Structure formats: structure tokens, C-alpha cells
Structure 1
Amino acid sequence: MLRREFLMALAALAASPGLAQENEPGLQAGASTPFSRDDLMERARQMAQSEYTPRGEVPEDWRNLTYDQYRQIWFDSRNALWEGTALPQRLDVFPPGLYFPRPVEVHVVEGGEQRPLRFDMGVFDTTDQFPDLTIDDSLGYSGLRLRADLLGDGNHTEYAVFQGASYFRGIGTGENYGLSARGLALRTGDPQGEEFPDFVAFWIETPAKGAPSVTLHALLDSPSCTGLYTFVIRYGETLMMDITASLFARVDLTHVGIAPLTSMFLFDQTNRDRFSDFRPAVHDSDGLLIHNGDGEVIWRPLANPETLQISAFGDNGPRGFGLMQRARRFSDFNDLEAHYHNRPGVWITPGEDWGQGSVALVEIPADKEIYDNIVAYWRPAGTIPAGARHDMSYRLDWGDDPAPRKAMPLRVTNTSAGGSAFHKGLIFVIDFQASEAVPEDLSKLMRIIRTTAGTVSEGVLQRNPETGGPRLAFEFDPQGTPLAEFRVQLRAEDGTPLSEVWLYRWTQDTRMAETR
């Protein structure tokens, strides 16, 4: 998806007294009607019993805006919902057009009543080059942004955005936007093509004075299903989203992606030789972390393959998973604009037993950092039959390596790979965190190094003088194989697991092979 520079530009452009009355500044609201979550649930259920009907589009001149033209219109934060009040939150809206041809409903809930926000061109600022466009009843907003006083300095800065299909993003205090989440993924990577459900309407509950959280409801619709999602969002150093959702299947759902994450991985020290770039690495996320139902913790470094790769990590009752950004130093990226070292990771914790299924990882070839080429999600083993309702809950933590630390094994902090000047094949180098659990004499540690093809050496274990943690290096001879799966782990002298399980899929770089 071509969204990286576009969404970063929107965030840079952004930084009502209650609900404004007619002809007053601020977001304009329509007439109030009674609100209940049960009514929203019933609406989703009834929609699933009818044939899917796409929402109407905004006028053609809005849809035909160029990228540069769309950037010439932005929300004026002085018109934000709850601006000028003592409430802790602010809500902004986005204009339609370009990549967002279909508007969404946005409602404000207070005192058991809901009021729709009406489209108003007056809440936006534009440059003098912005074209004159059609204004009619088909217009609406394309999404929303949440802001709060994160630093306690009186300035309301953004921490979450909901815009485009069922995509949303969040950040912990002081971080930069990176990976995205979605409400639902359908048929990701399937030959018949992926289906992208939409959040077609939002209801934001007015927070109480001093409340640290805000509640947002979202109605989902697609040709295959409908659904109702409720987000309870708590901002802070780690942004927390508690999500409860119900899906209503229009058809048999055989390939469902629950709690999907979308990210970007271009290169790091495992494939640096494929890119001519002044930076040592470029990625929003560098690994998939899984805490499976058996208690095993798996670290799978991400890859940018030459051909589409789909991996499935079978499980029963996962304890959690997510995409992490463990490279946190500026020197890891040397990028003064993108600030990749300040991108959040996301950890997903199921709210109940999710049963049999797998954590799916889709890695798509990419040659530029503007493409999102990584997708991870939970895929249930069974089918959700047409007419059925599927309930689920989970929490998303957005922050600096937000996965639980307590009682977890040694983390993998870095992976490097490359050729050797003195040996045939490749050398893999894995760094682990420093810990008191690591004996002074590293020879007391067991090294488990396995491969599905080719041969591997027994490995050399040394202490990294910069980090203080153990570093394991081993040689790999492909022996003509185009693909090999690795499994590596450090264990204590008695065989007790000490580190995360490092899993990696190596594929032959045909470009490099042809030059040898």
C-alpha cells in the first residue's frame, strides 16, 4: 500500500467548543437521537442479513485530487471537538478525496444521545492553490484523529488516527507513527485476492472530566461480513487499546485475520547488500514476537524476500504476539527525517482463549520504503459459517517494545548475516540481551542450532563488549538448497531454555547467486 509518505505528511500538517451551533466555529452536529451499543449491535446483525451495498462516493473532482492537492487542505485544530473545554481529549476530522473516496459517519455520544457530525468545509484551512470543488450532500469526513495533553504542558498532541478501510494507528507519548493495525483482514495473500473491510461509521463517547481514556465504537462492513468494534483507548507512555468485537458472517469465512498488523521492512544487517543507501537499516518493525500457548517465546526477524512468503506458526490458545521495533538507537538508522528508531511496536494480548489456529506472517517483496510489505495476524483454524456471530476481545499495547518483560527469556536484540571471506557459505550473528541469568563462563551455555537444509556449524559464543550480552555466531553452508529454516536457542547447562527461540527463513538471493 502506498501510504507512508502520504500519512506522515498528514500528521505533520495537523499539529468545538462542545458541539458548535449553526454559523459558529467548530464542528457542526445534527439532531440528537437515543444511543445504545445494543442498537449498534442489532444494526450490524441486520446488515449481515442483507446483500452488501457499497457506500456512495464523494464527487468526482474530490476523488481526482492529486497527492499535492490533497495536502493543501487540512483540519484547523481550533475547530476540534471539545476545544476550549476542560475535557482531556480533542477530536479532529479528515477531508475526503484521493485515497478516501467514500465518507464515514462520525457521531458524538453524550448523556445517552448521539448527534452526527455534518460535513463543513469551514473546519478546514487550505492554501490559495486549492481548487474549487463540488459541495453537496454526498460529502462527509474520511476519518478522525484523537489528541490529548500527553506531556502535561497544555498542548494537545495526537496519539491515534482512524482513517482508510479499517486501518488505525497509535503511538505512545513522544513516539512517531509507524506500523498500522486493522479491524479485520480477509483472504490476505490468497490467489483470489484480499478483501478490505471498512469502518463505515464511528461513535465517540464524550469523556468525563479528567478521564484518562476515551471510548470509540466502529461499525464494520464488507461483502463477506459486518461487525461492531468497541475501543477503550488509554493514552500514555504506552498507548493501550482494549477492543471487544463481534463479527456477523454474510458468507462462510474460511480465511479470517484477527487483530491484523501492517508494517514495513526494507532492509537491515541481514540483507543490507541488496540496497545502495546511506542508512544502515530501514524498517518500521524488525521482528515478529510470539508467546505461544505452550509458553514458548519465539522471535522471528522480518525479511524482505524476492518472492511472496507466507509463514504460519501453529498454536493453541496463544498468550500474545506482535510486531516489534527493537532497534531503538538513532545510529541503527542514521535518519534525521524518518526517525525509525522512534517507531512503536504493538503487542496483542487475547482477552479469552482463541483456541486452535496460527499466527500468520506475510512478507511481500518491496524495493522502496513507501510500501507496507509486512502483515501479521491470528488465523483461527475453523470456518466462521454464514449467518454465524463470532465474538472476541483483545488488547493492543503501542510503545517501545511493549511485550511483557516479567518472567520472559533473554531477548534477541540484533541479527546480522553475510558472506565470509574465508569460508564457503554465510555467517549468522545473533545478539542477546545482557542479564544476570547469563553465567560469566559462556561455555556453560548450551547452543541449539538446527536447520532444515544445508549444514550449520556448532557456533561460537562470545560476550559482546558493547552490550555485555552473549553473541552467537554460526556458519551455514546451503549446499545448493534454495531455502532453509533455522531454529536457534541458548539453554542453561541443565537444558532449561534461557533465551527466546530464534526462527529464521533463509532464501537464496538469486541476484547475488548469478554474480558469483
Structure 2
Amino acid sequence: MGSALLLCGPGIGRNRGIARAEESFGFEQVRRMAAALASRPYQPPDEVMPAVLRDMSYDQYRAIRFRPSSALWADGGGFKAQFFHRGFLYRRRVRVGVIEGGTVTPVAYRPDMFDLGGLDVPDMPDLGFAGVRLHHPAGGGSTGDEFAVFLGASYFRLIARGQEYGISGRGVAVNTGGSEPEEFPDFTEFWIERPGAGAEEITVLALLDGPSVTGAFRFRLRPGDTTGAQVDASLILRQPVGRLGLAPLTSMFLHGENGPRGFDDFRPEMHDSDGLLMLDGAGVWSWRPLVNGRPAPLATGYAMAGPKGFGLMQRDRDFASYLDVQAMHERRPSFWVEPRGDWGQGALELYEFPSLEEYNDNIVAYWVPQRAPEPGRPLDFGYALTVMGGGTGLHPLGRVTGTRIGSAERLRPTVPPSPERRFFVVDFEGDGLPGHGSGLSADVTASAGAVVEPIVEHVPQTGGWRLYFEYRPGKAGPAELAARLMRGDRVMTETWRFTW
């Protein structure tokens, strides 16, 4: 494997001996580092720090401020990089280097980079950083020009211009939604390529390390009205895993029109994403609304070959749906993933678990390949990640805009009564849908139980269409429901999906 790899284990954050003398440092060198890590036992990242930082409160951590004058390239008019202090929940040390002219210069921690908010930290050691954030005039929301954050495990958050942070991406998901304990590998080291004058894109390399997997990542980020990220990754397993999730997205859904109404909340809806949008290899678009309030976590897999795209979307952009002036959920981003190359057979999996707190991310979506790689064998893949608003321009079909569920007993009483009967109302809108009198019909199926009397009607108030149907679950257990609107043999809408 070459002598250079022998120098690239954990703790090589000093950025010495990473590449051969004749090589410029780049993604290939990080891939070699990941391979070297995978061949050795896992060593957790450094968490050593003064007790005052380890035991600090949430409010104390929020009071710490990075001084903008200490940012990388602070005097320029383009990209800038700032850093997060270690402490509170963010205890693991992250090393950072700058790539310029093919060589790496480490970024040294200095206490004067930060305003510690009055915190007294004696004998401040060389702490390193907890994470990185990027700024550019083309991006950012209400807090300024920040558009990207890498902080905690392998999480990263992105926003487009005018948005507020919500959904997160992750480097990898390990045993999410499975019977084995979930693992959260860390980005332990970052390298940022110094952008040239007037650059519209910045490149960040990252090294991933965890008990079962290592990896190398390259993020090419372009902020703007829609922020784009070209992601290249190479994963190597140390040991077999029960479930390996690629391009995972993590979000929050507390309550909405399709969930239980038991939340004592002044806000009509509360979520960072309201549905999973999918495009399979056959070109079929599907929408799965998110649900909270089930008695137990639920993992739902949608098997397909060669996925063309998927994303957790915040489709509802109306302030009146949330009525939260501070949180501004109508401005939360949607993440749309487009795989590069053929990802083969597998399943797009949605994992939902019950939550009573808006601060808990309880939604995860990710791609699970049919066969995980053997330990020691790299899995190389890439994808384009687009940060957008509601994503209404992704396809020309009618789109689902609402899912409402209630008892069918009051509407269609029977003798004897059957409280298990449910009444579904699904709304579709879109410029491509015809107007009143156009003869749309419904194609509704259930993998178990029975669908009764589907009815479609035009909604003049919205210009869209509404589907009504009764569902009788019976005693068959879980069921997958699907529905779409048709005009003769022509598909007019995306396919609505729901897990009962």
C-alpha cells in the first residue's frame, strides 16, 4: 500500500506525511487514509477538555461566539471559513487544514479566536475545533451569509439564499432503523481548498471514522438561490454491518394535517419536512407524507433498481400553516439527492420514530444497497445534492399537497359500527392538471384490507383535485396504500403512498 499510508492513521491531523512528495494533496490521499484506518482497530476521537467546557449548559455554549476577524480569508469578499468551539455536546476534536498549491497547512486553535461569553476557562489547552462553517455573500438566511455547517458526528447542514436551517445531511447511516445498535461515525478531519478570487464554488474534503466504517468525502459547494453540492464518497467497512445507508437525510416532523391532533400547540403544523419524494429507475414519481405519533418506530423500504432521485421536502411554504414568527418553518430547505451512475438494486428506506419534542430529529431517509460491500473493499459512489424550496419544479405532474385522515364512521355509519374504518382525503395540485369537468379518475390500491368507493372531485378554491376514499384495514396487519389520478390511460399525478 506504500509507505505514505503508514503515516496516515488517527491523529495525523498535523497534516504531515499525508501524501508522497511528488503528489498534490487531494481526495485520493484521503481515500488512502480511510483505507489505512479501516485496516486497524477503531480508536474514538479525542474528547479530553477542561471540565468547565465538558459540563457547560446549552445556553453557555450558545453564548460562545467566533470572532469574524479570525476567519480564514476574512479580508476577502468571497468565501470565508469560521469554526465551532468544543464543549457541551460537541466534545470530539476535529482537525482542520487548508489546501493551497497542493500542500496542506494546519489551522491552529487559538483562544482569542472566540468570545467565550464570560466563561472562565483556566489553562486553555490546544483544543482544536468542534466543526466548521462556511460563509459567502451568495448564500445565507436571516443570520447573515453563512450557508454550510459541519458539526457533530458526520452531520452537515446547508441552506440556499433566504432560507433557515432545518434538515441535515449525513455522511453515512449505520444500522439506522435496524435491530442492531445504531452507530454515528465522525468526520474527524477536514481540509478546505483555498478558493481563488471570485470563485463561486468551494471544496471541502473530510475523513470519516467509526467503529464499523471509515470513509473519504469530497464536497464541492456552490451557494446561491439554490445551493448545490456535488458529493463524492468512498466507504470502507471494518466489519460487516446490518444496514448501510447511503446519502442519508435527517429531519423533524412533529405534527401536520396528516398526523394525530393530540399536540397542545398553538401552531397548526410543526415540521422541517413534510414528505419523502422519490423517483425510481422506471421514471415513477412518488410522494410519501411523513407521520409522527405511531406507537413504535417504523422503517418502510421502497425497493427499486437504479434510483434517479429522492429527497425530504418541505413542500408547504405558507406561513399560515405554521404561524411561528421566530422559527419560520415555511423557509426551511428541502434536500433533493440525484445519484450519479447506477446505484443498482436496493431500497429507499424511510425511518420514522415517535417524538414529542420539536428539537428531536425523528425522520431519516437513505438508500440501502441490496448488498453491502465486504469489509476492506471500497464502496465508491457520488451524488448531486440540491438545496431548494418546495421542489415544485422537479416534475410536471400534479403533486400531493395534503393528506388528511379521520374516522369514516360518522360519514358512513354502519350497523354494527366499525371504528377501525378510516376516511382518507388526498389533495393534488399543479399547473398540468385540467379544470372542472375533465373526467379524472382514481387508481387506488392497498396491499391488505379494502379500499371502498374512491371519489375524485375538482376543488375550485385551489384549482386542484381531491381524492376521497374509505379504507377498511381488517385484521391483515400493516398495509401499503397507493393512489394516483388518471385521465384515461394517462398518469396525471405523482403516486401518493402511505403506510398503515
TM-score, length basis structure 2: 0.90
Q: How does 1:59-78 map to 2 (within 5 A)?
A: 59-61=49-51, 62-78=53-69
**Aligned residue among 486, 492, 495 for 1:498:** 492
For residue 462 of structure 1, what is the amino acid of its counterpart? Answer: E
| Secondary structure at the counterpart of residue 291 of structure 2 | coil
**Aligned residue among 304, 309, 316 for 1:320:** 309
Equivalent position of 2:353 in the other structure: 364
Per-residue deviation at 1:404? 5.5
Runs of 5+ unmatched residues, structure 2: 1-13, 414-420
Per-residue deviation at 1:482? 5.8
| Secondary structure at the counterpart of residue 315 of structure 2 | coil
User: Is the contact between residue 270 and residue 418 of structure 1 (CA under 8 Å) also seen in structure 2?
Assistant: no
Q: Aligned partners of 1:33, 1:48: CA distance in 2, in Å?
A: 16
**Is 1:119–2:115 an aligned residue pair?**
no
Q: Aligned partners of 1:368, 1:191: CA distance in 2, in Å?
A: 24
| Secondary structure at the counterpart of residue 273 of structure 1 | coil
**Is 1:190–2:186 an aligned residue pair?**
no
Equivalent position of 1:380 in the other structure: 369
For residue 445 of structure 1, what is the amino acid of its counterpart? Answer: L
Equivalent position of 1:297 in the other structure: 285
Per-residue deviation at 1:30? 9.5
User: Is the contact between residue 97 and residue 192 of structure 2 (CA under 8 Å) also seen in structure 1?
Assistant: yes
| Secondary structure at the counterpart of residue 457 of structure 1 | strand
**Aligned residue among 68, 74, 89 for 1:83:** 74
**Aligned residue among 451, 470, 474 for 1:475:** 470
**Is 1:229–2:224 an aligned residue pair?**
no
Per-residue deviation at 1:463? 2.0
Q: How does 1:317-466 map to 2 (within 5 A)?
A: 317-402=306-391, 405-406=394-395, 408-420=396-408, 421-424=410-413, 425-442=421-438, 444-466=439-461
Q: Deviations over 1:156-215 (max 9, x none)?
A: 611110000000000110000001000011111222210111100000011111111100
**Is 1:257–2:245 an aligned residue pair?**
yes
Aligned residues: 471
Q: Aligned partners of 1:156, 1:489: CA distance in 2, in Å?
A: 42
User: Is the contact between residue 150 and residue 156 of structure 1 (CA under 8 Å) also seen in structure 2?
Assistant: no
Equivalent position of 2:8 in the other structure: none
Which deviates the most, 318-327 or 242-251? 242-251
**Is 1:106–2:100 an aligned residue pair?**
no
| Secondary structure at the counterpart of residue 300 of structure 1 | strand
CA gap of 1:115–1:252, structure 2 versus 1, over 3 A, is same
For residue 431 of structure 1, what is the amino acid of its counterpart? Answer: D
| Secondary structure at the counterpart of residue 341 of structure 1 | helix
Q: Aligned partners of 1:402, 1:327: CA distance in 2, in Å?
A: 10
For residue 170 of structure 2, what is the amino acid of its counterpart? Answer: R
**Is 1:288–2:276 an aligned residue pair?**
yes
Runs of 5+ unmatched residues, structure 1: 1-28, 507-516
**Aligned residue among 22, 40, 45 for 2:35:** 45
Per-residue deviation at 1:462? 1.9
CA gap of 1:497–1:361, structure 2 versus 1, over 3 A, is same
CA gap of 1:267–1:360, structure 2 versus 1, over 3 A, is same
User: Is the contact between residue 82 and residue 91 of structure 1 (CA under 8 Å) also seen in structure 2?
Assistant: yes
Q: Aligned partners of 1:436, 1:268: CA distance in 2, in Å?
A: 26
CA gap of 1:47–1:484, structure 2 versus 1, over 3 A, is closer
Per-residue deviation at 1:333? 0.9
Equivalent position of 1:20 in the other structure: none
User: Is the contact between residue 434 and residue 470 of structure 1 (CA under 8 Å) also seen in structure 2?
Assistant: no
Q: Aligned partners of 2:392, 2:379: CA distance in 1, in Å?
A: 26
**Aligned residue among 202, 210, 225 for 2:190:** 202
Per-residue deviation at 1:403? 7.0
User: Is the contact between residue 308 and residue 338 of structure 2 (CA under 8 Å) also seen in structure 1?
Assistant: yes
For residue 82 of structure 1, what is the amino acid of its counterpart? Answer: W
CA gap of 1:188–1:31, structure 2 versus 1, over 3 A, is closer
Per-residue deviation at 1:452? 3.1
Percent of counterpart pairs with the same letter?
38
Q: Aligned partners of 1:151, 1:266: CA distance in 2, in Å?
A: 28
Q: Aligned partners of 2:307, 2:377: CA distance in 1, in Å?
A: 23
Per-residue deviation at 1:326? 0.6
| Secondary structure at the counterpart of residue 376 of structure 1 | strand
CA gap of 1:30–1:381, structure 2 versus 1, over 3 A, is closer
Q: Aligned partners of 2:479, 2:38: CA distance in 1, in Å?
A: 44
Q: Aligned partners of 1:231, 1:410: CA distance in 2, in Å?
A: 33
Q: Aligned partners of 1:203, 1:260: CA distance in 2, in Å?
A: 22
| Secondary structure at the counterpart of residue 418 of structure 1 | strand
Q: Aligned partners of 1:475, 1:152: CA distance in 2, in Å?
A: 45
For residue 503 of structure 1, what is the amino acid of its counterpart? Answer: R
For residue 73 of structure 1, what is the amino acid of its counterpart? Answer: I
User: Is the contact between residue 15 and residue 104 of structure 2 (CA under 8 Å) also seen in structure 1?
Assistant: no
CA gap of 1:350–1:412, structure 2 versus 1, over 3 A, is same
User: Is the contact between residue 272 and residue 281 of structure 1 (CA under 8 Å) also seen in structure 2?
Assistant: no
User: Is the contact between residue 30 and residue 117 of structure 1 (CA under 8 Å) also seen in structure 2?
Assistant: no
Equivalent position of 1:485 in the other structure: 480
Q: Aligned partners of 1:315, 1:454: CA distance in 2, in Å?
A: 24
| Secondary structure at the counterpart of residue 68 of structure 1 | helix
Q: Aligned partners of 2:15, 2:75: CA distance in 1, in Å?
A: 20
User: Is the contact between residue 447 and residue 479 of structure 2 (CA under 8 Å) also seen in structure 1?
Assistant: yes
